[in-house]
Each structure stands twice: as structure tokens, then as C-alpha cells.
Amino acid sequence: MSKPIDDLLPQKPTSRLRIYAYSIEDRAHDGMLKIGQTTKSVSARVEQQLKTALVKNYTIHVDETAERDDGSLFTDHEVRARLKVKGHPKVALEWMQCTPRDVQTAITEMRLGQRLTGTHHETFSMRPEQAIAVNKTHAYFHSIWKEDMHAVPRFLWNAKMRFGKTFASYQLAKKLGAKKVLVVTFKPAVEDAWRNDLDSHVDFDGWQYFSKITGSDPTAANKRRPLVYFGSFQDLLGRDKAGNIKAKNTWLHETNWDLVIFDEYHFGAWRENAKELFEGEDESEAKKEIHAEFNPGLDGFNEELDELGEAETDFLPITTKAYLYLSGTPFKALATGEFIEEQIFNWTYTDEQRAKQSWQSTYPDKRNPYAALPEMRLFTYQMPDELVAIASQGEFDEFDLNEFFSTTGTGTGAAFKHENEVQKWLEVIRGAYAATQVDNLKLGANKPPFPYSDVRLLPYLNHSFWFLPNVASCHAMAKLLKEKQNTFFHQYHVRTVAGSGAGVGLHALPPVRSAIGNGHDTKTITLSCGKLTTGVTVPHWSAILMLRNLNSPETYFQAAFRVQSPWSIKNPNGDNPNEEEILKPVCFVFDFAPTRALRQIAEYGVGLSPEAANPEDAVSDLVNFLPVLAYDGSHMTQVDAGAILDIAMAGTSATLLARKWESALLVNVDNDTLKRILSDPKAMEAIMKIEGFRALGSDVFETVINKSEKVRATKKDKGEDVTATEKKELSQEEKDYKSKRKQIQEKLIKFATRIPAFMYLTDFRENTLKDVITKLEPDLFRTVTGLTVDDFNLLVSLNVFNSSHMNQAVFAFRRYEDSSLSYTGIESHEGLRHFGLYDTVIAREAD
């Protein structure tokens, strides 16, 4: 059900946390100060505390913000702990024996980042979904060990950011009774989270943490206490000039680990899409960014990973009892192919927001652990015709953001090719574009909310991220915003984070944090074409403006989720640890290419719930928690799931639809899948029925597996010692098995292209692959595809065909078919139960 626009634009809180200290002028409190915190007025808070005791002889000595320059907060608890370390005793609940100057000094030290370390004071428990993930993984590991005690099971947590993967991973290790845990990451920058959770929570008191940064010797660790070692793939995979394991890592490979955790594992499934995020950067800078994201030195590993399946662990010559994989990209579709359903725990944006809503109604008197996670809103705007006209592309004349923001020149000399139109766009987003002023006056109070004009939106635009096509467009925008006619934007500190001078990865973040400061006294606009779109947390960003073309929903939402980081104050008044003041209840994505944006929403929704009986239900589930409002040039209305799919599919031509059914994503030909086919006689028999496989021969699968594993084993064993002759032989072997793997893939894709032909002929209305399998006409299916229903069902169950991507293709075909038939005056499948569409076509041809 659509919500009123006012309900989708809640007032943005402006609370700030303050530390205070006061004294009571009597003998009982001589030399003592009460130290607390509040988001209220300090005088009001102190008066509230003392009025019941009728105390009036008090003095407030300290009233300071509890904010560091980077926007992070410290608490009254930390200030008192700092005073205690400095020798000032605690004499009552929040009373310390100290002077106002002592408190001011402690506050200054907290601002400068001087913190206590190694204190296990956190006592929070796992959230329900974390407990489910731990229990499901624990049960799966033990089910595998029960069958084979020497087996090495693996499990994937495919969970969006804020799931709490480090804390939950340690809880799994504890439940398993693990004494030796190895954490391997593609992003060394996440080490802080792994160390802090271990150092701060009471559940891990006594655990030992080691890494390259700690500098201490893990081989000298206490063997009676659990040990965690944190390392990067680059370091652990690194070898010396002779091709041997680095001497300093020998102990790692000689240790029998209880649990190995691969963090940020989504690089393997997602790296191709990651390139899209950085494609606007200079080529050399883009490579640096991708390497900063996924760690340099792994290019060869990347190529091999596509073929490995379970064998990717061969690249780490280590022994362990079990593997846990962690992915921060919340797309269930990404998990297909490498893990079966029993090996996956999913946690998506809709799961998170549903839990937030459910907790509030189920436990109204308890602190909601999801409360600070803002709900997203997507606002799309149809640009005026005169702006669209200069930058339209494709069969359906979609607004081309890359062309609209295209430039000439570089660096500070960059300028927009269509500068007059971009200037008009700046006026549009301020609601000040002259051509629409008369229309807005007619609409009165109902005029659409533009980002930088609506009073409800403006507070959320205090700190925003503008995602532009390339480095030059970032510089051109920075220059245009500074021009005299754009005085409105002069109140914002504009940071250009693009190109070689902006830093790589997390190193690009400090200037942005410095500009934002505490987030209350500043306003900023961050311009980027790829930097800071992954793996960063800036709580103050509340809005992102999508000003470039993005083709995949993975990359679109990976960037969009940058603005979903929580911003809140816990225990604002220091007297209720369950209280939390939310400073960012919602966040916004603004997009100016409506059709493309709605297509992303449609694909994202379907990708989040590939098992949904009807993809429209999956999209409906998503927009329940991610409302979409569309401005059509005169009105802004909330768009439901059906309309989103209709608009998204309106931009789908028969050519684009055909490409969906010719995609390599539809089939899996990795070694694990080929082994599953080989080990199942019925599957092998079914494969041989597919056109072209008899010519290839049944031994092609075994050839590909054996040759690929042989090449990999030789490269691993010999390393740098491989001779020129051997290298030539290996190269030929590699070409041979890759060519045969490609042929297998092509034959399977050719078969897949027959499915839409069958769907067109059958009477049934298919929404998903399951419908194709269970609701079809078996004789017709066999005639069109060459396989029986049982054959096809078996191959799908073995993951030969990627059900998630096929679901999307099936549904896209159905929507396209519906619209095509409706256009010609023929009803869709529904209602054609007695006179099939196939018969209709034949009858018309006969006439």
C-alpha cells in the first residue's frame, strides 16, 4: 500500500551528544563531580536529575560536545574510565573524585583518540539472524563430519553490510570449540573490526589476537587459550623468488587450523561488476582501486577461480577442519554455482528492514537492535524534454547520463560539453528551473519535492554523494558549482574525490571526513566516479545522486548502500543503555534516468528472492521497504511493483530479451558441476540428448576436469621452477581444456535458447523456472527442447542450469510476451485454457 509522501519524508533529527559535569556544594560531595551525557540541554538535564531531591546548590562546570573531528562519538563511560586510569577514584555511580580541569583534560584526550585497549566490557548478545546463521552453519558442519570425519565442509554467509559478521563469526568459532582460527581477507582495511570485537566483548575474554600489524610472535602464544590470526591473501599467497612459501609464513602452513574464515569473499563473484564502478576513473587509477578493493597480486588467481569451485582452497596450502566464507554483497544470485542451498545463509536489505519492523511491534518495550538502520527511498525524476533531447540513446530514447555529463579537457581545465543544460539541471534540482515554475505554482502545495528545494529533504542533503561518469566530469562539476550564479551551492564544501591525486581505497576517505567534521556544523558534497563506492562508512551521508549509467543492479546498489550507514547516539542521557536517538531515520537515492532506475529496482528485487513463486511478489516485497517515487514531469507518485515491472520491461526489446537467453550466466561449467554430471548416470544420459553433445563425446567432461586439475597442480608444485618446455606444454594443455569447456558451455546455452520457444507455444503462464518444470506440457516440451521434464528437472537440481538467472529470463519473457499480445489485442495466456496459443497461431496461418 502506498504511503503519503509526507510519511516518506520524516523530519530529520538534529540532536547532539554532550558531556557534562556538575558539583553539589555541600560537605557530602566535597571534591566530587557528577559526570554524565545527554542530547538535551545540559541545564535542563541537570535540573531534571536534581529537582526531586530539591537540590539547588549546584554548579555546572563542564558542557562539551562528545564528538571527535571525524564525527565519531565518545561517552561519559569512556571519560570516567579515562579519569580512573589517570588516578581519579570513582566514589559513586557517576561521581568521580576530580576537578573540572581533570574532566576537560580527559575530554580533550578522548577527542584526540587516546583510548583504552584490551578492555572486555561489551555484553550484548547475538541478534536473532546472527544466532540462526551460527546454528545453521554449526549443524551443517556436524552433519558433514558425521558422514565423514575427515571431510572439510564449507559454508557461505551472504549477508549485507551491518550484519555483524565479525562478531557472529567469533561466536561460531566459540560454538565449534575452535582453538585456532585463521581469518583471511581480500581487504586488509577491515582488520579494525576483527580486532575490536575480540578485544571488547566479554564472550572472548582470554582470546589471543595476532596479525602482521600486532608484531608479536603467534608461535609463542599460550596454547591453552584460543588464537586468532588475521592475514591478507596477498601475504599468504606470496612466495619468494625461488617460488617457495615466505619463511615468515611457514608456521601458518604447518598449523592445523580449526576454522578458516574468508572475509569479503564476494570479490570472486563480483569483481567483474566492480570494474563498472571504477570505469570512470583513469585506467591506471581504476586498476589501483580494484586492487585496493580486492588486493593486488591476485590476477592469476582471479582467472583460475572461475574454474575451481571447491578447489580454490588449493591455492592456500593450509589444513583446516572447516571453511566459512563471508560476502558483503547482498545478492542471493551471486551465491549460485559455488554453494548449494544447504551451505548458504542469506541476509538481505529486505530481511533487515522486515526484522526492524517486526521487532518494533513484537518487543515494543525492548531496544530495537535494527532501529538505527535507515530505510531507503528512491526518487526518480523525468527531466524536461529540452534536456532529454540532447542526451538520449537507444531504441527507446532513454536519458543518457554519461552523455549529459560528458566533458572536454581534463583536470581543472575540464568543462561540460552541454554546460548550459547542466546549469539548467542544477536549477531543476533546486526547484528553480524557469520552464517549470509556472507548473509548480499551479500545483501549489502539491509541487514535487526536488532534492535541494524541499524543506523536508534539505536536511538530508547536508552531506551527499554525487556519483558522476568520470574524473573530468567530477572536476567540471566542482568548477561549475563554484561559479557566481550558483551561490546556493557555495554553502557546501565540495570535495572532488577522483583521479590520481585523491588517494586509493580507504586512503581517499580522510579529506572527506575532515570536511564533514562532526556533521552538524558543516555541509558537504562529495564528487566521485568510483572512489568511496565500496567498503567505506560515512554515517553523515544521507543521500546519493546517481549521475551516471550503471548496468547491473549489483553495482548500482553497492554504491547506493553507501548512504545507508546508521547515524545514531546510544544511551543519549547516560541513564538508559536501551535508549538510542536516531539521527538518520531514512536515506535517499535520487536518479534522473527513470526507466534505467526502475529496471535496477526490478532486477534487484527479483535477485533478492530468486525462489519467489512470482517475481512481482519479490519486487513488491522490496518496495514495501524501499519506496519508489517517480516524477513524470508534472506529478510525483509512489510506484507499485506492477508498475515498476511494466516500466522496466517497456524498455526491453526482443533483441535484449534474446541476449538474456544467450547469456553464459544461465549455465555452470565449473569443475564441480562437471563432476556432478559425471557421477550421475541419469544426468549424463540427459546431457547426451542435447544437440551437439554426442559429437563432443561423453569423455569431454573428464578431459576438461583432468587437464585443468593437472595444469593447476603443476603450476602450484613447480612455481618458478617450471621450464620453458614445460611452460609451453602447460600452455597448450590449458588452451585445450579451456576450448573444450567453452564448447560445453555453448551447447548448454544453445539448449537454453529453446526454452522461450516452448514458453511461447505452451498454454501456461510461467513466472519462474519452477513453473516451466512443473506446469508445462511434457510432450510439447520434449518436442521443442529434446529433453523430458524429468531430464531438465534433474539438470536444474545439479545446478547445470543457473535457476536464479533463468528465473529472471523466464519472467522477462513472460512480461514481454504479455505486453506484445496486449498490443495486438490478444489476451495473455490466462483465459486461453481451452484454445491454446499454439492452435491460435496455426489457425491464423491456415486462414
- Over the range 199-219, which residues count as b (16 or more CB within 10 Å of their CB) and which as e? bbbebbeebbbbbeeeeeebe
Residues belonging to the chain: 847
The pLDDT score that the predictor gives to residue 216 is 82
Low-confidence ranges of the chain (pLDDT < 70): 1-4, 113-123, 186-190, 234, 237-245, 265-275, 277-278, 284-317, 329-338, 393-397, 434-447, 575-578, 610-615, 634, 646-662, 715-723, 726, 756-777, 803-847
The pLDDT score that the predictor gives to residue 187 is 67
The pLDDT score that the predictor gives to residue 802 is 72
CA-to-CA separations, 385 to 394, 398, 787, in angstroms, rounded? 16, 12, 51
Q: Do domains 128-347 and 351-651 have the same CATH topology?
A: yes
Pairing of strands 154-159, 323-327: parallel
The pLDDT score that the predictor gives to residue 395 is 46
Residues 605, 623 contacting (CB under 8 angstroms): yes
Residues 187, 264 contacting (CB under 8 angstroms): yes
Burial (CB < 10 A; 0-12, 13-18, 19+), residue 615, is buried
Residues 520, 245 contacting (CB under 8 angstroms): no
Cell numbers representing residue 307 in the block:
574454474
The pLDDT score that the predictor gives to residue 308 is 38
First to last CA, the chain: 47
Residues 33, 95 contacting (CB under 8 angstroms): yes
- Residue 687's H or E segment, with its range, is helix 681-689
CA-to-CA separations, 675 to 307, 491, 679, 792, 796, in angstroms, rounded? 12, 62, 6, 18, 15
The pLDDT score that the predictor gives to residue 497 is 93
Distance CA 556, CA 602 (A): 12
- Over the range 478-503, which residues count as b (16 or more CB within 10 Å of their CB) and which as e? bbbbeeeeeeebeebbbbbbbbeebb
Q: Is the pTM of this model over 0.85?
A: no
Phi–psi pair at 804, nearest 5 degrees = -65, -50
Burial (CB < 10 A; 0-12, 13-18, 19+), residue 149, is exposed
The pLDDT score that the predictor gives to residue 577 is 61
> Residue 48: which residues within 8 A CB-CB, separation 6 or more?
40
The pLDDT score that the predictor gives to residue 320 is 92
Which tens digits make up the pLDDT trace of 394-451? 544 578 899 999 999 988 899 999 999 999 999 999 988 766 555 554 445 456 789 9
Which tens digits make up the pLDDT trace of 581-590? 999 999 999 9
Cell numbers representing residue 399 in the block:
536519458
Coil/strand/helix, residue 731: helix
Phi–psi pair at 331, nearest 5 degrees = -125, 115
The residue extents of the domains of the chain are 18-111, 128-347, 351-651, 664-846
DSSP 8-state secondary structure symbol assigned to residue 521: S
Residues 540, 12 contacting (CB under 8 angstroms): no
Q: What is the CATH number of domain 128-347?
A: 3.40.50.300
Residues 637, 629 contacting (CB under 8 angstroms): yes
Distance of CA 704 to the CA centre of its chain: 34
DSSP 8-state secondary structure symbol assigned to residue 216: -
Side chain identity, residue 693: F
Cell numbers representing residue 666 in the block:
544461465
Side chain identity, residue 223: K
- From the candidate CATH numbers 3.10.129.10, 1.10.3720.10, 3.40.50.300, 1.10.10.10, the one assigned to the domain spanning 351-651: 3.40.50.300
Please name every residue paired with 326 in a beta bridge, in sequence order, or none if there are none.
157
